[in-house]
Structure 1
Amino acid sequence: MTQLATLLTAVLAIASGVQAQCGGNNPHATVSGSGSSFRTARGSAQLYSGSDYRAAIQAGLDGISAGQRLSVLASGSIGAGTITLASGKIFEGCGTINVGNRAGRGAIEIQNVNDVQIPFLTMTGNPYFGLRISGTRNLKLGKLNFNLSGGLAIRFDRDAAMNYQVEMDTITVTGAGSHAVETWNIDGLRINAVIARNVGECGLLLQNTRNAWVGLVDGVNVATGNGYATFRMANENGKLANGRYDANVYIDKVVSRGGGRGIFCVSRSGGVVIKDIDLASNGNNAILVENCYNFSIRGGVINGGGEVRLSARSEFPNNKDIWITARVDGTTVREQPCGENTNFSISGNARQQLC
């Protein structure tokens, strides 16, 4: 690369960073105010003025067109209400949005729409679902922070339409009682990072999701005292439309400290390549593989915690085509029952009970 090209790349990167500031670069509409006084404006036109924070946000979303952006500059509480996004809308939560719990519903819902973007969001409270999503195309989620006292942060619905081409940048979740990110029914998923801290169930849970790439899953004190995991695949995750389990789910790195399980593959999932792992002091299995197919861990370390285990339930076909390469210290590696074409390359002081 020439010096000029290098300089141009750097300038473009800086410009992109400036444009990416929440609320910057002249949004089409804004929500401002505080306390019990909020104002929603689109240019010089006033769309809302009053004490209802949720109504102020919804008025802004309803008042912009596809391809336009609403920046919520104010902080406030929507209570147990729901914000809904239509196709093509760009929604930025620059303030802190506090939410309540509405049974079976999301504080923000994105359903049966295309080309929605949420570049920034900070959410607090105890939602049933922070974001509830289904039936989308070309959904883009950016830097989203959930500092919760319970609930589930991001949920793609199980009994609903497929989602196609979903992108997430960095999702940071603290204090969720359930999962940080739970997916169902996605074809085409890219996530830079899921960072979970003190989360009750999974950090990232993938279900019936294929053609996926995740850069990092990082969990501390995730799934303590239960059978979930920092990273879990279940319910035919990675199964392609033709019924095969060719590799199509790629995870660059999983980091897990404490909590319950580190990595868990179950219920006819697979087609996954995990490039690197760093697991320590997990209170349940460091890794559990149960009725999975074409599952590969290419390298990394496990230090203490629960055992690395290959097991199987009788109602599903046994494990098949498993590769695990890792350094394992301070715990055991056990295969029971024997799977089909299982391959281990284990270093360290682990006690091994393999077929």
Structure 2
Amino acid sequence: MVKLSIFGAVLALASSVRAQCGSGTPDAKVTGSGNSFTATRGSNTVYSGGDYRAAIQAALDSISSGQRVAVMASGSIGASTISISSGKTFEGCGTINTGWNTGKGAIESLNTDGVKIPYLTMTGGPYFGLRFHGVRDLTLGQIVMNFDTGLGIRFDRDAPWNYNVKIDSVRVTGAGSHAVETFNIDGLEIGQVIARNVGESGLLIQTSRNVRVGLVDGDNVAKGTGYATLRFANNNGQNENGNYNTNVYVDKVVSRGGGRGVFCVSQSGGAVITSVDLANNGNNAILIENCYNLSIRGGTVNGGGEVRLSARNEFPNNKDIWITLTVNGASVRESPCGQNVNWSLSGNGARNIC
């Protein structure tokens, strides 16, 4: 995969790209407002009535693989689910308001190939905003979620693997849980994840490999929890043959306040983080716990919790760690001593390392 350098360009292009939502001639379209919605496929009406979700689902069900739906109307689907089948493109040009449906996504695509969601704006409080598993060649574009509870984007844990997932830009505000949580992805590319006032992680990557991320940016993320703006967990970065050769790349992590900034745990690794910019994080600015072949190659920690290497007894100790950082107003501690831990530190932070 080509190294990502798109997160700056995403910011510049976001508004102009969104203006393209619904452009041209979609194969199906949802229009209307209030309690009156119409779904059309070409010149044929496939739904007319007051149920916004039914209109969207009718439009989706009316098209075939390789075709596109544009939802121009805004409305509420309540505690229900929209399902997208293989090969279909879904453009959410209006704002989709959602409700809580335990264990379900407001929008789901399960065991599918080639689904695309170039644009989506979602509000409300779903259990999951978007839910996936068993997908191949999934593409998500400009995703904006303004929630008062729930979780943004979820790839399920106890479910089939996912292959070749591409995400351009995700911005999640107000989620009670994670902004983006992934399990079981082989081949994941993310331009940026922006998390604001999110209860748990900004980006949580688990049991995945061959990952490239541009930017993870969190403000008031994971306050009072064990989560972090960026968290690797549950053997993330472990290759199929069991080794931890580098296969996870993150360009930059920015974190302000909240809980941890960066957290690698539970036999994860195989990762390079090129740069961090962490300030006033609660708990640990950085915590590395039972991780292998992890490199943080530069950046700053200003104030907040300590930079810490630790280990649980049930897993092998940290091994092959490289940390290059400027640390001011926070301490650095390695306890217990890891194997082949390499520090290159500057700044005034107190140090207790091996």
- Residue 336 of structure 2 aligns with which residue? 337
- Could you tell me how far apart the structure 2 residues matched to 1:205 and 1:220 are? 15
Deviations 1:95-118 (A, max 9, x none): 000000001111111100000000
Report how far residue 20 of structure 1 moved: 7.2
- Residue 247 of structure 1 aligns with which residue? 246
In percent, how many aligned pairs have the same letter? 67
Higher relative contact order (CA closer than 8 Å, sequence separation 6+): 2
Is contact 2:18–2:119 with CA below 8 Å preserved after alignment? no
- Residue 139 of structure 2 aligns with which residue? 140
Report how far residue 19 of structure 1 moved: 9.8
3-state SS, counterpart of residue 104 of structure 1: coil
- Residue 4 of structure 1 aligns with which residue? none
Is contact 2:18–2:142 with CA below 8 Å preserved after alignment? no
AA aligned opposite 2:267: R
Check if 1:309 corresponds to 2:312: no
- Residue 276 of structure 2 aligns with which residue? 277
CA distance change for structure 1 residues 19 and 254 in 2, over 3 Å: closer, same or farther?
A: closer
- Residue 263 of structure 1 aligns with which residue? 262
Report how far residue 241 of structure 1 moved: 0.2
AA aligned opposite 2:295: S
- Could you tell me how far apart the structure 1 residues matched to 2:243 and 2:350 are? 34
3-state SS, counterpart of residue 78 of structure 1: strand
Map 1:38-57; keep pairs closer than 5 Å.
38-57=37-56
- Could you tell me how far apart the structure 1 residues matched to 2:254 and 2:109 are? 30
Report how far residue 25 of structure 1 moved: 1.4
CA distance change for structure 1 residues 100 and 303 in 2, over 3 Å: closer, same or farther?
A: same
CA distance change for structure 1 residues 148 and 318 in 2, over 3 Å: closer, same or farther?
A: same
- Could you tell me how far apart the structure 2 residues matched to 1:199 and 1:80 are? 21
The unaligned stretches of length 5 or more in structure 1 are 1-13
3-state SS, counterpart of residue 218 of structure 2: strand
Report how far residue 245 of structure 1 moved: 0.3
- Could you tell me how far apart the structure 1 residues matched to 2:24 and 2:318 are? 53
AA aligned opposite 1:300: G
TM-score, normalised to structure 1, is 0.95
Is contact 1:19–1:25 with CA below 8 Å preserved after alignment? no
AA aligned opposite 1:203: G
3-state SS, counterpart of residue 56 of structure 1: helix
- Residue 94 of structure 1 aligns with which residue? 93
Is contact 2:317–2:338 with CA below 8 Å preserved after alignment? yes
Report how far residue 43 of structure 1 moved: 1.2
Calculate the aligned-residue CA RMSD, in Å.
1.1
CA distance change for structure 1 residues 108 and 264 in 2, over 3 Å: closer, same or farther?
A: same
Is contact 2:233–2:268 with CA below 8 Å preserved after alignment? yes
Map 1:102-121; keep pairs closer than 5 Å.
102-121=101-120
- Residue 82 of structure 2 aligns with which residue? 83
AA aligned opposite 2:342: N
3-state SS, counterpart of residue 78 of structure 2: coil
Number of aligned pairs? 340
The unaligned stretches of length 5 or more in structure 2 are 1-12
